[in-house]
Amino acid sequence: MAIIKPFKAIRPTKDKVSLVTSRSYQDYSKNELEAVMRYNPFSFLHIINPGYKFSKKVAGEERFNMVHNRYLEFLEGNIFLKDSKDSFYMYQIEKNKFKCCGFFCAASVQDYRDDVIKKHEDTISQREQLFAKYLKTVGFNAEPVLITYANNNSIEAIIDQEKQKVPEYFFTTPDRVKHTLWVISDDEAIHQLTREFAKMESLYIADGHHRSASSNLLANIFKIGNSDHTGEEPYNYFMCYMIPESEIKIYEFNRLVKDLNRNTKEEFLVRLDAMFRIENKGSVLYKPTKKHHFGMYLDGDFYSLFLRKKVYNFTDVLSKLDTQILYKTILEPILGIKDLRSDKRITYGFGKHNVIHMKDEIDKGKFKVGFSLVPLKIDEIKAIADAGLVMPPKSTYIEPKLRSGMAIYEF
């Protein structure tokens, strides 16, 4: 049984929403970030980069406190307003051929603990603690966790019905993405949505494992400090964006490695031959199209690598993942990369535009070899989560990527 709740969102006013909401901070180039900060005083980036106001770099507790102060300024300046009624917030994104529609809601921390909300990635304790401290200081969450649910005809009917109403927001951002948001405040629609989710045994985190883990840690901190704890306080929930699993788009992350671990090119290819059938494609750009097939770029040539299944042992769902196969057959035993998170010899690029970029980086001499993979399927992600296993880091790049500041959840 999955628990979701409506909440009173803090939201930008209609006339400023297109100016307030922002992409992820890391998504901006240095020049683009400077331009937005200088010429758009309403951007949410001013909240999460609070030192800009004083031409000062800030970090740690000082930054957290200043984020809180900038947030209060946006409230005091009526850039943000708080809704008077608990609501769900249906949000549709359209970009080129990609289109999705889900809704913001509050998900239960207890469901996260009980594995109703399932994970497929490891989290790093230090990052959990840092983000929990950040949340506790600033008092709000503006970055929802992306959670998927199995396609549901009843929920789809509710969404279709709500789409007939006049949206609260409709705007297009400079990256040519269309954004539409409807406020679902009708008691019957809210009841129908909560009832449908109460029938679900499992939900799946698609993106935001550290945010979920940090919210769980924060709830424990608040609980210890609250002698009147009931379990219904806002800190017992975290903001998420619920989306049917058919509407997420999964891309792959390619791998680029700086050297061949003291192997010559010929020695490297001979060692690969033990596990793969290798075909040299020459200068023809090659990208794999099937599971257990890999692309490789080395020394000016593309190669196709076909796994020799008779010599590879499939033991569980994790062993069948292409990212795990690549790690166990090449990255670890041949290239000597043990820790995929911290080894400085490997880097990643998501596959939407990375095969040509991968070639360019290797041709420039920054890397020696690159590997391309096919994207994972949602069923593979769910199978890993259901088995209580975790995927190798950078196994998936998932869209939609949500804008910050569209809806804010206060603790």
CA-to-CA distance for 163 and 144, rounded, in angstroms?
22
The percent of residues above 90 in pLDDT, for the chain, comes to 90
For residue 25, what pLDDT is reported?
Answer: 84
Q: What is the pLDDT of residues 132-153, one digit of tens each?
A: 999 999 999 999 999 999 999 9
What's the average model confidence in pLDDT over 229-254? 96
Report the pLDDT value the prediction gives residue 317, as an integer from 0 to 100.
96
pLDDT tier for residue 97 given thresholds of 50, 70 and 90: confident
Full DSSP string of 98-129: EEEEEEEEEEEHHHHHTTSEE--S---HHHHH
Distance (Å) of CA 368 to CA 182, 256, 268, 278, 337: 49, 8, 12, 18, 14
CA distance 229 to 231: 6
pLDDT at position 26 is: 83
Contact of 10 with 371, CB cutoff 8 Å? no
Confidence of residue 124 (pLDDT cuts 50, 70, 90): confident
DSSP per-residue letters across 240-283: EEEEEGGG-EEEPEEEEES--TT--HHHHHHHHHTTEEEEEEET
Q: Among 110, 125, 114, 199, which Cα is nearest to 155's?
A: 199
The percentage of the chain sitting over the pLDDT mark of 70, rounded to a whole number, equals: 99
| pLDDT of amino acid 351 | 61
CB 303 within 8 A of CB 286: yes
Residue 350: predicted pLDDT? 74
Per the prediction, the chain carries an average pLDDT of 95
- pLDDT score of 27: 86
Per-residue pLDDT tens digits for 184-240: 999 999 999 999 999 999 999 999 999 999 999 999 999 999 999 999 999 999 999
| Token pair for 290 | 């099937």
Q: Is the pLDDT of residue 245 over 70?
A: yes
Q: Give residue 23's Cα distance to chain centre.
A: 13
Span 60-83, mean pLDDT?
96
Mean pLDDT computed over 329-333: 97
Tokens 């770099």 belong to which residue? Answer: 57
- What domains can you pick out in the chain, each with its CATH number? 4-250+399-410 (no CATH), 253-374 (3.30.1760)
pLDDT tens digit sequence for 21-50: 999 888 899 999 999 999 999 999 999 999
* Nearest partner of 367 among 268, 257, 254, judged by Cα: 257
- In 3D, which of 207, 332, 183, 172 has the Cα closest to residue 257? 332
In this predicted structure, what is the pLDDT of residue 352? 57
